[in-house]
Amino acid sequence: MKGTAENGQKSKKFRITTSIFLDWVEELSIALVLIAAAFTFCFRVITVSGTSMVPNFEDGDRILVVHSFSEPRPGDVVVIVNVLEEPIIKRVVATEGQTVDFDYAAGAVLIDGRPLDETAFGLENGITEYPYTSFELLDFPQTVPKGCVFVLGDNRAVSEDSRYQVIGMVDRRDVLGKAVFHLFPPRGLGPV
């Protein structure tokens, strides 16, 4: 009789232990599925490639990009796909209906006839020089068409951006998302 009671106790402990283990596996599985879904549909970690966004982003920096469900706004740093072989990171300077022009003598980007205040982006005003390149440039002024944005790199001397015909006006559907946080190297708290 004593052996049967002990076997019953062991069997009960085994069932409880197994139940707890299976609950943990289920919880962990759900968490992993939710994390995978979040990284697929909500945000991604992107590694910056190149120097077109210096001084704000260096080659190799890692940033958190949130898939944007709202319209990109001037000043937003966005990751763009389907325009070159690799995704590119640029800053939105104009949205649909705005007219973009350049005053290369003053080094200024003109939005609707007014110089863009680039100090709001951590840049100096007067940094935009005429690009010396073999790539074809758009003629300016240009009005941003419906459903598009105009983007520039922060490092204008080396940035392939909306000034070039190969990129031009970027369809908002090609904006993967907005850069919201500098993950590595850490640059203090707060958004990018």
CATH number at residue 158: 2.10.109.10
Torsion of CA 176, 55, 60, 34, to 10 degrees: -40
pLDDT tens digits, 5-43: 566 677 777 778 888 887 888 888 787 777 666 666 668
pLDDT tens digits, 69-115: 788 999 999 999 988 889 999 999 999 999 999 999 999 999 999 99
Residues 171 and 106 in one domain: yes
Residues 2 and 94 in one domain: no
* Ordered strands of the 108-111 beta sheet: 114-115, 108-111, 99-103, 142-143
Do 173 and 53 meet the contact criterion of CB atoms below 8 Å apart?
no
Residues 163 and 97 in one domain: yes
Domain of 152 in residue numbering reads as 43-184
Q: Give pTM, 2 decimals.
A: 0.79
Residues 47 and 36 in one domain: no
Tokens of 74: 């001037």
Residues 99 and 53 in one domain: yes
Catalytic amino acids? 52, 90
Residue 83 lies in a domain: yes
Residues 47 and 127 in one domain: yes
Residues 26 and 63 in one domain: no
Residue 162 lies in a domain: yes
